[in-house]
Every structure is written in C-alpha cells, then in structure tokens.
Amino acid sequence: MAIFIFHFGIAVLIAWGFDYLLGRPASALVSRAAAVAAWSGAVVVAILFVLALIQRWPADDRAGITALVALLLGATLAAWSRQRITRTTVVASMLGLLLLELGNSTGFYWPHREEKNRNIYVKRLAEHADIAAFLQSQPFPVRVRVSDQDIPYNFGDWYGVDQMGGYLASLSENLLRLPYHHPRAWPLFAVNYSVAREGQPGEEELYRSAGGLKVYRNPNAFPRVWTVHQVRSLAEEREIAAVLDDSGFDLRRSTFVLGEAPALESCGETDEVRLVRREANRALLEARMGCRGMVVLSETFFPGWVATVDGRPAKIYAAYTALRGVVVERGRHWIEMKYRPLSVRLGALMTLAGLIGAGALAWRQRRAADDRTIA
C-alpha cells in the first residue's frame, strides 16, 4: 500500500514535469539528460548483446527491456531538444515507453493460461473452497495456520480467513522480538485451527476436504482475548527468552512488558471478556472484571492504535511485548481500539492544504488571465 500511495503522488509530479518540459523550448539540461539516458541504455544493451553471443544471457530479461526504454527515451529527448520532432510526437513516444515499462515491471511473471508448468497456482485457488467454507462456519473468532507445503498461496487473504503467516511485504519488529516459534509463545497468537495433511500433537481433527487436507482444532491455543492480573516489568529485550523458558511463569494469568508496568489487582472473582467485533482497523471488546486487571487482545501492538474504555481514552500497553493490552477497572466495560496513526492525520491535512493551495493558484491564474483580457 505504501508503494501505491507513493506512485499516486509521484504520478502528479511526473505529469507536472511533462507539462513543464513540453511547454517551453528545450534547455541544455534536457540535452544532458537525453545523453545520459541514451548512453546508459546503449551500454547496457551492448553488454547484454555480448552476453547473448557467448550464451550467458541472464534468466531475467527485464534489464534488457529497461535499457531499451532508457535508450529510446534518450533518443526522444535528444530529438526534441534539436527540434526534430513535434510536441505531439514526444507525448505519444513518452506514453508508449511508459506503457512498455509498466508491462515490463508488473506483468513479467504473468504466465499464459496454456503454460502448464508455470501456471501452477490458478487451479489451486479454487481447490480449497470447501476448507474455507468450513472454517467460516466455525464460531468467531477463527485464526488458522496453513501448511505452505500443501497450500502454496495466501489462503487467508484469498478466502477472507484470519491467517497466521503467509507471504508478507513486511513484519513489525515486535513479532520478531517475541519468538512466535517458541512452544510457549505460539499459543499467545490464538491460532485455534490449522490446515495440513497431518496435524500436530494434541490437535483434534474436525474436517477432511475432498483434496485430502484436514482441518484441526488446537485446544491449547489462547482465546483471542483474555485477562491477566499480574504483570512483570522487563528492563531489556534479552529477558524475554528467560521468561518464556520459566515454566513457573503462567502466561495465562500473567504478562510482561518492557519498561514500566501498570499496577494491577489480584482477586478471587472471575473475569468475563469477549471480542464483539473485529475489523482491520477497529476492535470492540466487552469485559466484566472482578477487579483491576489488563485485558489482552491477541493482535499486534503498533504505534497508532488508540483505545477508549467506556468512551474515555486509555493507554495501550505492549502486552508480552507484542500484543495489545488495556488496563480496566472492576465492573462491566466496553473497550474500543482504533487505528488512528498521527502520520495519516498529518498526511490528510497536508493533502487538503495542497488541494486548497492548488485551487487558489488556479483561481489566481484565471483571474489574472481575465484581467489581461479586459485590459
């Protein structure tokens, strides 16, 4: 998504650059840019030509297409700077090169439907619909672990099922800080189902698909939300491993945080807590607390998440250094978490200011043009 947002902004600058370039006579800077692009492309094309002659052509031929685009771009700019071609020809050439480069970078790995040895995932996307339907019929909330050996694509994204793992563009650092592969840390992520041909020890088989894959329930998984009444403060990250290795530290009743820990109360009364609604940027929880404790939601802690308890702002703690925890007093409460990062709000204000500024400049330019017409 960051790449898409960046491209959205850079497209405006590129369009402005086109208008600036073609709205005035070519300068010496354009000539130098043309020479750099043309010579760079020519050198790369020559190198690839030699590699082809000695049969050392690289497996990925996008470098050759990119070099060719650079060469043609340089030639177009050079012809424009010498007034050999018209403005219309320049625009048409630029658009053609742009489409060529977009197809080169985004569609290079797209296989034709007849290429059976490359087109190995399309058929599989429809093979596991019965598994997805079964998981979606289970009581909310569901989080699943999928064997990537049996399902080699992002099953959760495709079918709208909450999945732990898969192909990711990035991962927040705290999930690496808390070793989720640790046998005591894994239950914290509330992965209550798994899809594989063979289950893990202790898992219960619930469903067998037509393709032979099975759905297992993990009885040892933590619920998606729970409460704790004890918290330990850790001074350094290296203490996390020691806590996980300490079998006497009950992770179901206690949590740990880096830095200062909030004051909690212990009592004999039981708590009741449930996840009412969960969306990508919002979660709603209901809690009935016997005394002051921390409600832990098995979702990633990250700056930008804000919480309210009964409509009043509340601090979100990094429970277990990676999950979200909110301190709640005795009684019945509603807890709401929303993702409201400051960067997005500042970006929205800057975008609004930019639109207002652009509108003001356009109005001023039009007003000046009207005054000259009247004069």
| Span 320-335, pLDDT tens digits | 999 999 999 999 999 9
pLDDT of residue 60: 65
| Span 249-298, pLDDT tens digits | 999 999 999 999 999 999 888 999 999 999 989 999 999 999 999 999 99
Q: How far apart are CA 40 and CA 60, in angstroms?
A: 19
Q: Is the pLDDT of residue 202 over 80?
A: yes
Residue with structure tokens 């790995």?
109
Instruction: Indicate the pTM of the whole model.
Output: 0.73
Q: 254-289 burial, b for 16+ CB within 10 Å, e for fewer? A: bbbbbeebeebeeeeeebebebeebeeeebebebbb
Domain ranges of the chain: 2-106, 123-217, 225-342
- Write down the mean pLDDT value for the chain: 88
Bridge pairing between strands 316-319 and 282-289? unpaired
Query: How many C-beta neighbours within 10 Å does residue 176 have?
Result: 10
Gap between the terminal Cα atoms of the chain: 50
Contact 332, 276 (CB under 8 A): no
| Span 50-98, pLDDT tens digits | 888 887 776 666 778 888 888 888 888 888 888 888 888 888 888 888 8
| Span 98-148, pLDDT tens digits | 888 777 766 666 777 777 777 777 777 888 999 999 999 999 999 999 988
pLDDT of residue 292: 96
pLDDT of residue 107: 66
